[in-house]
Homo-oligomer: A and B are copies of this chain.
């Protein structure tokens, strides 16, 4: 049901964005992934359902943005080293994935993606592509600094950094303390630097 009555004093778009994401987060905490609906989110946010569909193609995309991150993420500030930048990125990924909302959304999203390859492709071409761009910036910085003899493949770096954190936080939850984050960033930074100085892959 669209709720599209008169909206005097209609807020600017970013206010709608924030209201929609806040409503989705509240509903997620109150009733869990499966019970959140676009209708309930629209009603809670005080916007029309069309306003939500203009922003998010599906409930899965809305709840990803509400629980994990949106399209407005930025890479961490330049720390002066690849290791430092990867450590900062590890912290950011940790903060995104360690929330109750992310833990609630992930299993349900994976189940939905496994049933719906088109959804999986949309999430990859939007949110995941956005994550990879941050790794691209970090690797380009390392190349400019002379740490990486070539910029390398941001998709590889994204998998190498994000994979262990995803598994440690959402698949095999266990202690993921500062030391472990340091170790992950150190191993990957050293590995990428050694790998970049090897022979380039043809093609």
Contact = CB atoms under 8 A, between A and B. Distances in A.
Interface of A: 103-104, 106-108, 110-111, 113-114, 120, 124, 128, 153, 156, 159-160, 162-168, 170-174, 179-180, 183-184, 186-192, 194-195, 198, 201
B159 A184 contact: yes
B124 A174 contact: yes
A108 to B, nearest CB: 7
In the assembly, how many copies of this chain are there? Answer: 2
Contacts of A113: 171
A199 to B, nearest CB: 11
6 contacts: A110-B110, A113-B171, A162-B167, A163-B163, A166-B171, A187-B191
A152 to B, nearest CB: 9
Closest 8 CB pairs of A and B: A191-B191, A163-B163, A163-B164, A190-B194, A187-B191, A107-B111, A159-B164, A163-B167
A89 B111 CA distance: 27
Contact of A184 (B110, B128, B160, B201): B160
B160 A187 contact: yes
A103 B165 CA distance: 20
A78 to B, nearest CB: 22
Contacts of A173: 120
Contacts of A186: 191, 194-195, 198
A120 B170 CA distance: 11
A190 B170 CA distance: 27
A22 to B, nearest CB: 24
Contacts of A191: 186-192, 194
B111 A103 contact: no
Contact of A166 (B111, B166, B184, B195): B166
